[in-house]
Amino acid sequence: MKPQLPTLPSLLEAHWSRFLPLLERQKRDQKLHPTLLITGLEGTGKKSLTLHFIQYLFCDQPNGFEPCGLCKSCKRSLQNQWLDLFWLEPETGTDETKLGHHKIETFREIKSKLGMGPMEEPFKVVVITEADRMTPQSSNSILKTLEEPPPNWVFILTAADSSRLLPTILSRCMEIRLNPLQPEQIFSALKEIKASEFNSDRSKFASRAAQGSLSRAVHFLEPEVWDLRELILGCLTNPASEWLPLVEKLSSSQRVMFMGLDLIESVFHDLLQFQVQGGQNEWAHEDQREFLIQWSEKKSLTHTKIIHVLEAIAEKRKLVALTLNAKLLAQDILIPLLETILS
Ligand SMILES: [Zn+2]
């Protein structure tokens, strides 16, 4: 029986060359770097690989980089009984518009335990997820510990944007960068996640539209996205009658608005790639290729205009996070964007 693994085989394969051989060698030679920083876009597998790595680190008899799944440590890992693991997430924001930060109290608690050694496993591991959301105060409070970790303690930080970490923290860490995933890697991962519910056409669309992020691809598979896509394409064909239903639907909530912006962005990415590469790439909206080419020709859509729309979407996305009111979502965000697109 193949041991249960805490991450998807396709993710491991995607990041194998970057992530694994180095760490495997370090463990074998008992020279593990005590402060690791795993960086990469949202949805590239940072947390999932971190869990895999910890199980591997604790395992008595790993096979290559695969934990055996059978030893006492692996069983504890698989049952989530991690006595020697501290997994620190930032606080949840107080409302949808505020991102949370790591609480300084949590770090104080960790520091109070530094005198202790591992209880069951060869290492004590502290994971600080989204470390780029540590406040300067919490960063400073943990800095000394990262500079001189106690023996057999390993700190693993994950971050989407390492430039937001204090340089002094960055300089202590061995950084492992995860590349954005390729569409075919995302497609394989979706097959593993969705299993019997797997839909090949929609997964192809999701993996191409996701821009390297598995979690984005999973969002793109939600049935609602497909309906939204119909509305957006309908509005391109017939703005006079379809404009209003689209505005009403997208401004109904921040979540739907984000989905809509992602979709519109994916359409314009397809058109940009077509202009730059002459259509050699497969499209996210492959089934709409002819329609979108004709539409863009009719609109005389230039390269500059497409870039302008993509920039406007990035700008509007920031505003969506700050706007809760449906009327304002429509007025300040969606209508000006649609005017830019359809003008
Ligand atoms: Zn094991």
pLDDT for res 324: 75
pLDDT band at 129 (very low <50, low <70, confident <90, very high): very high
pLDDT band at 166 (very low <50, low <70, confident <90, very high): very high
Give first-to-last CA distance, the chain, whole Å.
Answer: 60
CA 185 to centroid of ligand 1, rounded, Å? 27
pLDDT for res 3: 45
pLDDT for res 99: 63
pLDDT band at 16 (very low <50, low <70, confident <90, very high): confident
pLDDT band at 66 (very low <50, low <70, confident <90, very high): confident
Percentage of residues of the chain with pLDDT beyond 90 = 49
CA 90 to centroid of ligand 1, rounded, Å? 30
CA 57 to centroid of ligand 1, rounded, Å? 9
CA 74 to centroid of ligand 1, rounded, Å? 4
CA 125 to centroid of ligand 1, rounded, Å? 17
pLDDT for 217 beyond 90? yes
Q: Enter the tokens of residue 93.
A: 């924001």
User: At residue 177, what are phi and psi to the nearest 5 degrees?
Assistant: -95, 125
pLDDT for res 318: 85
CA 225 to centroid of ligand 1, rounded, Å? 41
CA 217 to centroid of ligand 1, rounded, Å? 31
| Average pLDDT taken over every residue of the chain | 88
Query: For residue 170, with 0-12 CB atoms within 10 Å meaning exposed, 13-18 middle and 19 or more buried, which class applies?
Result: middle
CA 120 to centroid of ligand 1, rounded, Å? 13
pLDDT for 1 beyond 60? no
pLDDT for 237 beyond 80? yes
Top mean-pLDDT range of 3-12, 102-111, 300-309, 326-335: 300-309
Top mean-pLDDT range of 23-32, 64-73, 262-271: 262-271
CA 79 to centroid of ligand 1, rounded, Å? 13
pLDDT for res 194: 84
pLDDT band at 98 (very low <50, low <70, confident <90, very high): low
pLDDT for 18 beyond 80? no
The arithmetic mean of pLDDT across residues 251-273, rounded, is 92
Q: Say which amino acid occupies 313.
A: I
Helix (H) or strand (E) run with residue 20 in it? helix 9-28
Please tell me the distance from the alpha carbon of residue 43 to that of residue 14, in angstroms, as a whole number.
Answer: 13
CA 3 to centroid of ligand 1, rounded, Å? 9
* β partners of residue 87: 127
CA 71 to centroid of ligand 1, rounded, Å? 4
Contact 187, 204 (CB under 8 A): yes
The better pLDDT of the pair 168, 195 is held by 168
pTM exceeds 0.75, yes or no: yes
Q: Which residues surround ligand 1, an ion (CB under 5 A)?
A: 59, 67-68, 71, 74
Q: Give the model confidence (pLDDT) of 307-339 as tens digits.
A: 999 999 999 888 888 877 888 888 888 888 888
CA 69 to centroid of ligand 1, rounded, Å? 5
Percentage of residues of the chain with pLDDT beyond 70 = 96
